[in-house]
Amino acid sequence: MKIREFSIDVLVLGGGLAGTNAAMGAADMGADVIVVEKGSNIDRSGDIGGGVDHFLAYLNTGPEWDTEDSFLDYVDKVGRGTTHLSYLESLYCAELQPAIERMAKIGNPLTQPDGTFYRTASMGQPGPYFINFNGKLLKPKLGAAVRQSGCKVFNRIMTVDLLTKEGRVVGAMGFQNRTGDVFVFNAKTTIIATGNTNRLYENPRLNPFNTWLCPYNTGDGQMMSFNAGAALTNMEYMRMTVLPKGFSAPGFNALVGMGGRFMNSLGDYYMEENHPLGNKAPRYDVVFNTLYEVRNGRGPVYIDCRHLKEEDMAHLKTTLGYDKDTLPDYFEQRGEDLAKEPVEVMVSEGMQAGPTEVTGSGVKIDGEGAATIDGLFACGDSADHNRCVHGAITGGYKAGKSAAISALNERFADAPSKATISEMADRFLAPLYRETGYPYEQIEGTIRKIMAEHVGPMRTEMGLKSGLKKLERLEPSLDEIKVEDKHDLMRANETRNLMSVGKIMINAALYRTESRNKPYHYRLDYPETNDEEWCGLVVVRKNGDNVNCSFEPVVYKSN
């Protein structure tokens, strides 16, 4: 297999929404940029590859809720103890208006055809922060903009290791998942934009690739960063949502934002009975109460939209197709009409992701998007302060600018020796050359079962420790995976990352002896939220072969 080497100012790992915006941010600052994407094309990669229908924003239109201060108060309320507000001021607030203008410039404005914003409220918001828009072609337009800015794009490359020298990240290496060629990128700065971690928990639809978010996001960037010495935070939180029964498609915000009501099998509108914000409560509260209804025998549960006005129903049905074309088709094939009957919903699989729409989980960054080791930046769902569509667009661009400023003041480090490259390549190519071994599916399926049984939405110390012990017993089997082609070689390396993310989640969940954002971190043995001792971030770092946890307080004005 060939070894191909490249040198570049800024290396962006991941070509999803955050990565493409990071690439544009770096290019606009005058840096030479390479984007490395694991999928086949940045035009349709990442969580919103099929489209998107909402963008969260305050617009300063006059009402008190529509301001930066009210937005930050909202973040404080729904995400207390999970984010530094000053970082969001820099990563999101300062970048918001330029981001809205940039969306229009690339040809996918957030406005309706008449030039107005169509806004809805959900998830605990004090007002309609979500802008409904047609993002069906957003990724192709972003892909074109990235190429027009002069960035080079390498598709079908799985990056498996960051390159470091004297405590600084100086690039990355990986392999092309069709040819097997090894790629070495020598970079002045590197940006992690590889998304969150999916395929980590058992899927209620029994297909690990039928996931709410992109199933090819498997914690690659988090684990490369962690192994290189960077800190991670908010890793104890598992994220879930409520989806149409049997079909993993976005739609929660569209259904709730237009006025959908959650109903149990007795006909009770349980969110309206159990939360002051009713159906517009934060997502984690909706998931918690939905799980409670099902566990207490009042399932199945439904979303009821029969009361919507005709024009609102028409908007809803159109919007559902922006996120995933096939969701309206699915309803039609099942003979279900939102206007005529409640539609059954279910709680999704779990994943590693931020506990709210405004707080993340992953690589620890500061207000510039910089990680805790020199030369490394992160954005989007792979970072701890930068997620969802609005965070990926704003924070991605910010990270790109910051990385470019740093890169243009750096010199290239010496490239790794041929012997070092060969040694690293032998390690991640090994499953392809074993004569016998296990299929990756067998080990990956076992990881998911352990995570679902021990690290789910109800946790105890004994259960978490038991799950960790099982993963540790399973871990040596990773070195016995055997694959037949380069595509499955990629899957084998994803399986290794899933194992590592699972262990980190357990360690962080054991360390945080309280509950926060239930059920995303719900300790039955510590069921209450304890702001006196735990209002802050659990920070995890690599310590030899172990995970070291520490606590970083977060101070709010309202403390």
Instruction: Specify the higher pLDDT residue, 325 or 514.
Output: 514
- The per-residue pLDDT of the chain, averaged, comes to 96
The residues near 384 (Cβ < 8 Å, ≥ 6 apart) are: 83, 232, 233, 234, 354, 359, 360, 361, 362, 363, 364, 365, 537
Is 90 exceeded by the pLDDT of residue 502?
Answer: yes
Q: Answer whether 0.95 is exceeded by the pTM.
A: yes
119 conformational bin, left if phi > 0, alpha if psi -120 to 50, beta if neither:
beta
Average pLDDT on 442-463 reads: 98
Per-residue model confidence as pLDDT tens digits over 58-71: 999 999 999 999 99
Q: Say if residue 6's pLDDT is above 90.
A: yes
Mean pLDDT of 294-320: 95
Helices and strands in the chain, H and E counts: 17, 20
Q: Is the pLDDT of residue 137 over 70?
A: yes
Task: Report whether pLDDT(544) > 70.
Answer: yes
Position 323 scores a pLDDT of: 82
pLDDT of residue 558: 65
CATH of domain 241-347: 3.90.700.10
Which pLDDT value is given to residue 404? 98
Q: Is the pLDDT of residue 559 over 70?
A: no
How far apart CA 89 and CA 82 sit, in angstroms, is 15
* pLDDT for res 205: 83
For residue 468 the two structure tokens come to 């960790």
Helix axes 220-228, 486-511, angle to 10 degrees: 70
Question: Which contiguous run of DSSP H or E holds residue 34?
Answer: strand 33-36
Q: Is the pLDDT of residue 250 over 90?
A: no
Reading the block at residue 499, the tokens are 């194992």
- For the segment 221-231, the average pLDDT, to the nearest whole number, is 98
Environment class of 340 (CB within 10 Å of its CB; exposed 0-12, middle 13-18, buried 19+): exposed
Nearest Cα to Cα of residue 131 among 386, 359, 319: 319
pLDDT at 273 over 70: yes
Which residues are within 8 A (CB) of 385 and not within 5 positions of it... i.e. 6 or more apart?
83, 84, 87, 88, 91, 359, 360, 365, 391, 395
Mean pLDDT in residue range 151-157: 98
Contact call for residues 157 and 38 (beta carbons, < 8 A) = yes
Check whether 200 has a pLDDT greater than 80: yes
Please state, in angstroms and as integers, the Cα–Cα distance from residue 469 to each residue in 456, 475, 495, 504, following that order. 16, 10, 18, 13
Angle at 242 between CA 289 and CA 197, to 5 degrees: 115
Segment 513-526 shows an average pLDDT of 98
Strand 182-192 relative to strand 301-304, pairing: unpaired
Task: Spell out the residues 6+ positions from residue 215 whose beta carbon is closer than 8 angstroms to its own.
Answer: 198, 199, 208, 209
Closest CA to 542 of 238, 235, 223, 162: 223
> Could you tell me the residue ranges of all domains in the chain?
241-347
3-state secondary structure (DSSP) of residue 215: coil
Task: Label residue 325 by pLDDT band (50, 70, 90).
Answer: confident
Strand, helix or coil for residue 513: coil
Angle CA 386–285–99, to nearest 5: 25
**The dihedral of CA 509, 547, 372, 150: what is its sign?**
negative
Task: Measure the CA–CA gap between 411 and 407, rounded to whole angstroms.
Answer: 8
DSSP state of 381: G
Residue 238's pLDDT is 97
Place of tokens 């809803």: 316
Instruction: Look at residue 112 and tell me whether its pLDDT is greater than 70.
Output: yes
Q: Using alpha carbons, select from 88, 101, 126 the residue that is nearest to residue 28.
A: 101
Residue 303 and residue 354: Cα distance in Å, rounded?
24
Q: 368 in helix, strand or coil?
A: coil
Question: What per-residue confidence (pLDDT) applies to 382?
Answer: 98
- Is pLDDT larger for residue 204 or for residue 494? 494
Residues 479, 177: Cα–Cα separation, whole Å: 19
Question: What phi-psi label fits residue 279: left (phi over 0), alpha (psi between -120 and 50 degrees) or beta?
Answer: alpha
Task: Look at the block and give the residue holding tokens 């922060």.
Answer: 129
Q: What is the pLDDT of residue 351?
A: 97
Bigger pLDDT: 517 vs 321: 517
pLDDT > 90 in the chain, percent = 92
Model confidence at 415, pLDDT cuts 50, 70, 90, reads confident
d(CA 28, CA 537): 33
pLDDT above 80 (res 280): yes
DSSP string, 227-276: HHT--EESTT-EE--EEETT-----HHHHHHTT-EEE-TTS--HHHHH-T
- The amino acid that residue 54 corresponds to is H
In the chain, what percentage of residues exceed pLDDT 70? 100
